Amino acid sequence: MDPIDRKILTLLQSNAGLSIAEIAAKVGLSQTPCWKRIQKMEQAGIIKGRVALLDAKRLNLGLTVFVIIRTNQHDEIWLQKFGRAVKDMNEITAIWRMAGDIDYLLRVVVKDMDAYDSFYKRLIKRVSLSDVSSTFVMEEIKYTTALPLEPAAATLAAGT
């Protein structure tokens, strides 16, 4: 991946709705080579998809919860059961399997505490967990889906 590819990805991360013409003009290419680069990155799986980012609060989803899960079961059968249990729980926006004291970390977005309580009861009913604890977000200070494509020093030097 060269600097032009990184510029294209940076633009798409900030606004996936840009036209090929707009992206091409901003990176100094004509439209066809720009489109080919984007297609190549899509085929390589670098670009996984293009989405609209929604404002949770304006959609009445004002509570974000990080759910910490510990289990004493680490076999394949339990892992498959856990995967099936959480697959259709739309409140879960991300799940990470962790190293260290925490086995899984879930990001859950719901309307309010009552909605979270309902989610929690469904979760513990579906799968055996040894410990579940929740941390509630009071204020979102920074949130981005953009990955850092340039070194931090280059970003600071550019003034962005």
Q: Domain end: 31, 52, 73, which one?
A: 52
Instruction: Return the percentage of the chain with pLDDT > 90, whole number.
Output: 85
- Predicted confidence (pLDDT) per residue in 61-90, tens digit: 999 999 999 998 889 999 999 999 999 999
Question: Residue 10 — left, alpha, or beta (φ > 0 → left; ψ -120 to 50 → alpha)?
Answer: alpha
The pTM of this model reads 0.82
Q: Are residues 63 and 120 in the same domain?
A: yes
Domain of residue 41 covers 3-52
Q: Are residues 81 and 129 in the same domain?
A: yes
Rounded to whole angstroms, how far apart are CA atoms 140 and 138?
7
Q: What pLDDT, on the 0 to 100 scale, is given for residue 73?
A: 86
Q: What pLDDT, on the 0 to 100 scale, is given for residue 152?
A: 52
Please name which of 160, 150, 87 lies closest in space to residue 122, comparing C-alpha atoms. 87
Q: Are residues 34 and 69 in the same domain?
A: no
Q: Are residues 23 and 88 in the same domain?
A: no
Q: Are residues 61 and 107 in the same domain?
A: yes
Q: Domain end: 52, 71, 93, which one?
A: 52
Tell me the average pLDDT across 82-99: 95
Please name which of 153, 148, 156, 117 lies closest in space to residue 134, comparing C-alpha atoms. 117
Please name which of 138, 136, 160 lies closest in space to residue 148, comparing C-alpha atoms. 160
